[in-house]
Every structure is written in C-alpha cells, then in structure tokens.
Amino acid sequence: MMTDYKKYVGAFEESFEVDEEQAVNLTYQSIEAWDSIGHMNLVASLEDNFDIMMDTDDIIDFDSFNKGIELLKKYDINIEK
Amino acid sequence: MNNFYDDIGIFGDRTAIITESREKITYSMLVSESDRIVADVESRRIAFIICDNTLEAITGYIACLRKRIVPILINYEVSKDLIVNLYEKYQPYYVYGDTQLLERLFDLSQFIKISQFRKYHFYKTDVKMEYKIHDELALLLTTSGSTGSPKLVRQSYKNIVSNTNAVVQYLNITEDDRAIMTLPMSYTYGLSIINSHLLQGACIIMNDFTLMNREFWQLLKDEEATTFGGVPYIYEILKKLRFERMDLPSLHYITQAGGKLSKELAQEFCAICKQKEIKLIVMYGQTEATARMSYLPWEKAEEKAGSMGIAIPGGAFELRDDNGNVIEAEDMVGELIYKGDNVTLGYAESYFDLNKGDERNGILFTGDMAKVDKDGFFYIVGRKKRFLKIFGNRVNLDEIEGLLKKEGYECICSGKDDEMKLYIVENNSENDIDNRIRNFIIGITHLPRSAFKILKISQIPRNEAGKILYSKLPD
C-alpha cells in the first residue's frame, strides 16, 4: 500500500516534475513550476490523493513542503517518512 | 470626447493610486511626477517602457501619453533576446524602467540618464536614426507577448479615448471604484482597467502578488477593492480557493475576459456571484480593438451563460460567411467582424511602419467564428486561425511549430485553451527530448510548465497532399 508520505511527495513530483530530493526543499515560487497555477495543480492533486477538501486559508498558507505537512494534520493526515 | 490623460489633474487630491507599500498617490502628484520625468524628453519619439505593476510604470505611461511620446509597453518578464530584437526593430530613442533590470538588458554606459522616478530611470538610448511617427499613433502593444514576435499593434489616441469611454459607460465605473490589479499593465486588458479608472477619477490598487498569496487578499480587504478582472485561469484559481466561501464585502463587480470560460465554470460563477451579490461581467476583446469589443450585461449572465454578449457602446458586430456575405439568420456560424472607433490602425513590424496611417478604417476581422441568437447575443464557437489562449496569452500554434522546427524538433502543436499539446514522433531517440522541448517552449513563451503536454505518436497524420490532419491527432 502507498504510504501517506509517498502520496504527499507524489503530488509534488506530479505537479512540478521534480524528484523527492528536490521536493522536500521546495517553497512557493522557489522554482518556475510552483507558481499560482502550479499551486492550483498541487492542491488538486493533494485533494485527490487524500480525498479531502482544503480550506481557503490552508491553501493560501501552504507555502512550502514542510508547511504542507503541518497543515494536513488538520485533516487527520499525518505525514511521516 | 476629451483626452482623459490630459485632464486627470482636475481630480486633484483624490487618490489615483495605492502603491504596493500602501502609499496613497493623489491625481495632482501623479500629474506633477509624470510631467517632471518627461520634461526633457522629446515628443513624437519611441520609448520602451519595461514595466511591472508599479507606480513608476503607470506614471511613465501617463507621462508619455500626455507628452505625445509613443511608448511600447513591454512586460519585465519578457526575455532579453526578445527585448534586444524589439530594440533593433524599433530603434527607440528612450527607455524607461527599473534601473537594475535595464542594466541587465542594455549597455547603459552608452545611454544618457534624463530623469529618475524612484526605482525607474528614463534614458536616452544610443539610437540616432531619424524616422517619422504618424501623428495619430499613441501606443504600441505586443499581440501575444509570448512567442517573441516583434509584431506590434498600433493604437491611436482616438482608439484609447473611445474604448476607455465605452468601458466606463457599460461597467458604470464611478469615482468611488477601487480596482485591484490582477493583470499586467502591458497586457491590454490590464491597461484598460487602468485607463477606465483614471478617466473617472477612481483609484487603482497596484499589486504584483498572485491570487495564491495571502498579501493579495489582505490588500484587497484593507483597501476595500470594489473590482478586479480575470482571465480564465484566474477563475480556476478562485474556484480552487473556494471563492464562494470568502467574505469580501467591498467587492461590487468582477469582470472576465482574455478567453472563454467553460460553460460549467461560467454557470458556477454566475451562481456564486448571484448569491454573493457581486456582478459578473463577461467581456470579449482583442489588442487589435484597443481592448474591449463586447460585454454581457450582468443581468443576463445566468440566462446567457457562455455568450460573449453584445457590442460595447459605439461598436457593432456582424457575421460573414466564407464568401464575405453578411449572415442575417440566427445560429449560423460566420467570421465575427467588428466596427467601431476602437479598431486600431493596424500592425507594425518595425520602425518603418510607424508612419503608416489607418489601414483598417474602423473594421476588424476578428478571426473568431461566432453565431448570434434570437435576442442578438453573440457566441464564439471557434477560431479561423490556429491559435490558443494560454492563461490569457494568445499563442499561435503555427508560429510555435515553426520555432520548434528551426531548433530542429519535428513537433506538431494542437490542444485547447490553457492546454497546449505537443506531439512528437515516437521513434525519436534523442535523449530526454520531452524535457528539452518543454524547456525550449517555456523559455520562449514564459508560460507555466503545466500548460504544455507532450504526447508521442507513431506518425504524423497527413492527407494525400501532405497537409497535417490535426483532427486525426489523439487526445
């Protein structure tokens, strides 16, 4: 079974065409692919992978790989490697 | 009709612009700074304005209009290669922009500094060539801003004044409106928002944040923005952000243009806006028509969802069939033709074209295929030429294919708005070709990676004459 961590990293890999090593260091607008449209794709992908609907504030606050892990706890998703 | 840019001083102490750092700039200040920076600049010369959405950039634009200097508005994100190409083609006497950026683009040691306004400087370039500029020419804008084509649209003073007045009239913009910028000012839709608010003595809230930044929403709330404009992808973002749940009491109306919303998204936003008592106004336009040609009155947004509406005040549409005959019947598809004072003079390919007069005589063949319903509302159904709107930017598919071919890639372009598909032949064994093609396209268009999909096909479908059959490409 796919772990939550894999699903989480997978959303980054899929949205920005990066590998895990790159993904963990990303912040919003740190790479060309993570712009407002990339962000929309990332959120869509996370919502699909975890079957959740994120709140507006969480979507806007989601500005790094690590911040996302923290925010997802609100949705009872605990991302651990 | 008066030239609003000459007369905006009458608004005196009213706030014209709220800057990124929340500073309030009055109309008097805007006028005095504008006139100061071009005091030693000659009229009837070309000036590049390399602009971002800042007070400095707007001031430079207004300064040029007031002094009858002809600006070419170029987005600061445009690549150096393209700007250098434009420089060679148009031989500008002046450049105005953020000094740090200008340093990367030009050899400033060859230029003479004329004036400064905060981060921006006005320079006289090393151009010595004398050429004549037509008296009516006011402004030059890029058509796509993306594929690197040096083709510019020639807009006259009459075009700008006429279109701005029409926009003010049908949107009913008042001096109490405060528009927050969501689009670049070098883009005709963004510029028309600036023009129409200045004409009424209203306020423009400068912003370079994206809708995904908390700062944008904070600015909108704090400064009580009454309106903003959006191209289709902005509406996709609003949907993702659950716009329906946001509490934005100052917002009175929002506009949509720069491409067609899908019918589902249009209906969804009609419902959301109705419930929130925000007027949604769908519009249609082109840089070739200065900015706007049609609007869908908000009262009809729901009933006529999917329609581009009716012609703006002072304009008129007709449809023509392949033989050039006017179509009178409803629901018959033909090319959309627009007539009005906002139809621009024509194109320019280089400075040789800047003394040309009006080549269109108020008639624009839009290249869009449309039909009209029994109540006179128009609907775009397709395009005559092959281009897509990618996040509001027009991208000509044949041009992209040509550029790829020049780079040695055999690649076919197709797709739909906001999703360009690039087809490559499967047996191409070049290493990492997908990424190289994608990087090349992103490099020239500066559009987001997610807009491009690479697909492999076994062979390019062609007819007997060798013509590519785009309809036979897989989805």
The DSSP annotation for B329-357 comes to STT--EEEEEESTTS--EEESSGGGGG--
> Is residue A54 assigned to a domain?
yes
What's the confidence (pLDDT) of residue B220?
96
Domain CATH code at residue A50:
1.10.1200.10
Number of domains in chain A: 1
> Is residue A31 assigned to a domain?
yes
**Among all residues of chain A, which has the CA nearest to that of B244?**
A56
What's the confidence (pLDDT) of residue B391?
84
Q: B104-126 burial by CB neighbour count: b if 16+ within 10 A, else e?
A: ebbebeebeebbebeebbbbbbe
Q: Outline where B68-107 has alpha helix (H).
A: 80-90, 99-105
Number of A to B CB contacts under 8 A, please give it: 47
What's the confidence (pLDDT) of residue B178?
98
What's the confidence (pLDDT) of residue B231?
92
Neighboring chain B residues of A48 at a CB cutoff of 8 Å: none
What are the start-end ranges of the E strands in B76-151?
94-98, 112-117, 120-124, 137-142
What's the domain range around A62? 4-75
Question: Could you tell me if B111 and B126 are in contact, meaning their C-beta atoms sit under 8 angstroms apart?
Answer: yes
Residue ranges in chain B modelled with pLDDT below 70:
144-148, 428-429, 465
Q: Going from the N-terminus, what domains does chain B have, and what CATH number goes with each?
A: 4-381 (3.40.50.12780), 387-472 (3.30.300.30)
> Is residue A81 assigned to a domain?
no
Which residues of A lie closer than 8 Å to B, measured between beta carbons?
Answer: 15-17, 28, 32-33, 35-41, 43-44, 55-56, 59-61
Contact A60 B246 (CB under 8 A): no
Please tell me which of the candidates A16, A17, A44 has its beta carbon nearest to residue B240.
A44
Contact A37 B213 (CB under 8 A): no
Backbone angle region of B187, left / alpha / beta, with phi > 0 → left and psi within -120 to 50 → alpha:
beta
Neighboring chain B residues of A36 at a CB cutoff of 8 Å: 210-212, 237
Neighboring chain A residues of B214 at a CB cutoff of 8 Å: 60-61
> Is residue A17 assigned to a domain?
yes
Question: Could you tell me if B434 and B444 are in contact, meaning their C-beta atoms sit under 8 angstroms apart?
Answer: no
Q: Outline where B111-187 has alpha helix (H).
A: 157-171
Please tell me which of the candidates B240, B391, B449 has its beta carbon nearest to residue A33.
B449
Question: Mutate which of B241, B419, B420 to test chain A, going by most A C-beta atoms within 10 A?
Answer: B241
**Among all residues of chain B, which has the CA nearest to that of A59?**
B241
Q: Look at the alpha carbons of B60, B65, B69, B72 in this order and tell me if their dihedral is positive or negative.
A: positive
**Among all residues of chain A, which has the CA nearest to that of B211?**
A36
The one-letter code for the residue type at B260 is K
Please tell me which of the candidates A37, A56, A59 has its beta carbon nearest to residue B450.
A37
* pTM, rounded to two decimals: 0.87
Adjacency order of strands within the sheet including B310-311: B24-26, B15-18, B203-205, B178-180, B227-230, B253-256, B279-285, B292-296, B310-311
> Is residue A36 assigned to a domain?
yes
What's the confidence (pLDDT) of residue B145?
52
What's the confidence (pLDDT) of residue A1?
64
Q: Outline where B109-262 has alpha helix (H).
A: 157-171, 188-199, 214-222, 232-240
Contact A60 B450 (CB under 8 A): no
ipTM for the whole complex: 0.81
Report the share of chain B in percent with pLDDT over 90: 73
From residue A46, alpha-carbon distances to A39, A42, A59, A80, B438 in Å are 11, 6, 11, 16, 24
The one-letter code for the residue type at B79 is S
Contact B448 A38 (CB under 8 A): yes
Neighboring chain B residues of A58 at a CB cutoff of 8 Å: none
Please tell me which of the candidates A16, A36, A41 has its beta carbon nearest to residue B210.
A36
Walking along chain A (81 residues) 10 residues at a time, the average pLDDT comes out as: 89 90 93 88 92 93 95 93 79
Question: Could you tell me if B372 and B111 are in contact, meaning their C-beta atoms sit under 8 angstroms apart?
Answer: no
Measured in angstroms, the CA of A19 and the nearest CA of chain B are apart by 14
**Among all residues of chain B, which has the CA nearest to that of A32?**
B448
> Is residue A11 assigned to a domain?
yes
Adjacency order of strands within the sheet including B378-383: B326-327, B316-320, B334-339, B363-372, B378-383
What is the torsion angle, in degrees rounded to the nearest 10, for the CA atoms of residue B305, residue B306, residue B307 and residue B312?
A: 80
Measured in angstroms, the CA of A76 and the nearest CA of chain B are apart by 20
